[in-house]
């Protein structure tokens, strides 16, 4: 019942259409990039086995990199089926695989052999096994490696070199493995050797941030799919689009904000989603920090971030030095019974958190004694971040320990 006592139904028709993993039937303002992907891989359905392709997709968070690749994957698999071509698309998130070449290749093999052993092989053996499986099944694979930064940081050039060169030793054999590499930080490619970097940079699709008007049309599509007719006004949609435009044109943020606003509308018994529901939703979302970003961090990255959150909450300062960060991290490690990592590793953790946009780092300027790194927490309430991390770490205590 609504607060007035009248019955109401949810504003949603199918809220799953606002889920982060949902792939919509069309991608507004990405038609050109989708067509380009299809051109790059036209050979895969017209002349399968004749060549292999490598494509790089880059862009900031929320520019549609993942959904672009997934939409392409669904489309080309469907076209291949119609043509009788045994072509498969596999989407692997390198960060979820902890940057492990073994786990990435394992995900690809499980597409074909669901009961394949989950241990006992090296990454190189898995790559050779994957190629053998493709030969045995006369299959072709387009493997999309999302958040490629995690693989590059964890293993450098070797895994990508092997993936891009695996077919050179298969003279005369069909070319069965193509790659789509997705990353938000093109500068990470500088860590690769020149040969591997050159191979990946031949075909690049760069996605620019969405404008306010583009975000509005994306939201229009999602409203038609997810909400009941008339439950979201044009004024509300414009408000959501404007809020997301201020966050760097992040479509993912816009869609999450719209979904949460719908939940607030339902909770209040309102038959429509109002701007006030959007305002309430906005304060429940970290503008530059999503829960999935925090939850995907490693244990010691979470401990470091917890220490920093507490330092900012109780210290009252706008910045923390590298020394203060290490001290706060050491206290968090002691609390959770973990052995603290060395300075170099802590520095690497900070660099990753900065690359993800969780923190900001800058060299100290005038007025600071000596040179150090200053760390700040942009726009995220330290108390909320501490609460979120504490909940995750306490839950982890009840499960298996990980390093």
- Domain interval for residue 355: 291-397
Check whether residue 191 and residue 225 sit in a common domain.
Answer: no
Pairing of strands 320-321, 373-376: antiparallel
Domain total in the chain? 3
The answer to the question of residue 239 being in a domain is: yes
Instruction: Please check whether residue 376 lies inside any domain of the structure.
Output: yes
Any domain includes 25: no
| CB of 70 closer than 8 Å to CB of 91 | yes
Q: Are residues 235 and 303 in the same domain?
A: no
Q: What is the pLDDT of residue 2?
A: 46
Per-residue confidence (pLDDT) for residue 213, from 0 to 100: 96
Question: In terms of domains, do 317 and 358 share one?
Answer: yes
Last residue of a domain, one of 263, 282, 301: 282
d(CA 142, CA 159): 16
The domain that holds 231 is classified in CATH as 1.10.8.60
Q: Is residue 160 located within the same domain as residue 66?
A: yes
For the record, the structure tokens of 122 come out as 């090296």
Measured CA to CA, the distance from residue 356 to residue 206 in angstroms comes to 19
Of 97, 378, 398, give the one whose Cα is nearest residue 247.
Answer: 378
Task: List the CATH number of the domain containing 310.
Answer: 1.10.10.10
Residues 198 and 73 in one domain: yes
Where is the domain boundary, 237, 255, 282? 282
217 in the same domain as 203: no
- Give the pLDDT of the chain (403 residues) as one tens digit per residue: 444 455 558 999 999 999 989 999 999 999 999 999 999 999 999 999 999 999 999 999 999 999 999 999 999 999 999 999 999 999 999 988 988 999 999 999 999 999 988 788 899 999 999 999 999 999 999 999 999 999 998 888 999 999 988 887 788 899 999 999 999 988 888 888 888 888 888 899 999 999 999 999 999 999 999 999 999 999 899 999 988 998 889 999 999 999 999 999 999 999 999 998 888 888 777 554 566 778 889 999 999 999 998 988 887 566 789 999 999 999 999 999 999 999 999 999 999 888 887 887 878 654 455 577 888 875 565 777 888 899 889 877 765 444 4
pTM, to two decimals: 0.71
Give yes or no: residues 196 and 342 share one domain.
no
Residue pair 385/305 in contact (Cβ under 8 Å)? The answer is yes
Q: What is the pLDDT of residue 1?
A: 46
Phi, psi values for residue 265, rounded to 5°: -65, -45
Do 254 and 360 fall into the same domain?
no
Q: What span, in angstroms and rounded, lies between the C-alpha atoms of 237 and 21?
A: 21
| Interior angle at CA 22, CA 218 and CA 61, nearest 5 | 60
Q: How far apart are CA 183 and CA 149, in angstroms?
A: 6
37, 158: one domain? yes
**Which spans in 227-367 are helix H?**
234-246, 251-268, 275-282, 291-295, 299-315, 322-335, 343-355
Q: Looking at the structure, tell me whether residues 95 and 197 fall in a common domain.
A: yes
10 domain-assigned = no
d(CA 280, CA 227): 19
């Amino acid at each position: 019942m609504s607060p007035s006592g009248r019955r109401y139904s949810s504003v949603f028709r199918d809220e799953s259409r606002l889920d982060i993993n949902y792939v919509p039937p069309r991608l507004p303002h990405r038609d050109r990039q989708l067509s380009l992907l299809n051109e790059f891989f036209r050979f895969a359905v017209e002349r399968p086995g004749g060549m292999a392709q490598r494509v790089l997709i880059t862009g900031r968070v929320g520019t549609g990199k993942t959904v672009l690749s997934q939409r392409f994957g669904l489309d080309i698999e469907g076209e291949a089926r119609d043509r009788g071509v045994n072509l498969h698309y596999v989407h692997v998130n390198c960060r979820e695989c902890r940057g492990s070449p073994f786990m990435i290749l394992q995900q690809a093999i499980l597409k074909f052999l669901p009961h394949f052993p989950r241990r006992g092989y090296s990454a190189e053996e898995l790559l050779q096994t994957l190629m053998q499986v493709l030969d045995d099944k006369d299959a072709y694979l387009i493997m999309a490696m999302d958040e490629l930064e995690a693989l590059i940081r964890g293993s450098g050039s070797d895994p990508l070199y092997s993936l891009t060169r695996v077919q050179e030793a298969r003279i005369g054999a069909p070319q069965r493995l193509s790659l789509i590499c997705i990353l938000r930080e093109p500068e990470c490619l500088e860590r690769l050797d020149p040969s591997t970097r050159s191979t990946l940079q031949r075909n690049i699709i760069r996605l620019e941030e969405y404008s306010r008007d583009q975000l509005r049309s994306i939201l229009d599509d999602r409203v038609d799919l997810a909400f009941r007719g008339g439950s979201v006004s044009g004024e509300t949609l414009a408000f959501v689009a404007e809020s997301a435009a201020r966050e760097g044109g992040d479509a993912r943020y816009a869609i999450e904000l719209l979904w949460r606003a719908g939940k607030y509308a339902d909770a209040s018994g309102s038959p429509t989603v109002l701007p006030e529901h959007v305002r309430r939703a906005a304060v429940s979302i970290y503008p530059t920090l999503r829960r999935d970003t925090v939850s995907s961090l490693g244990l010691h990255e979470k401990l470091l971030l917890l220490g920093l959150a507490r330092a900012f909450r109780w210290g009252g300062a706008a910045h923390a030095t590298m020394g203060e960060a290490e001290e706060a991290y050491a206290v968090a490690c002691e609390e959770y019974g973990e052995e603290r990592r060395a300075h170099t590793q802590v520095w690497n953790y900070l660099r990753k958190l900065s690359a993800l946009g969780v923190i900001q780092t800058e060299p100290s300027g005038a007025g600071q004694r000596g040179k150090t790194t200053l760390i700040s927490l942009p726009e995220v309430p330290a108390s909320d971040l501490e609460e979120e991390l504490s909940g995750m770490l306490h839950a982890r205590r009840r499960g298996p320990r990980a390093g």
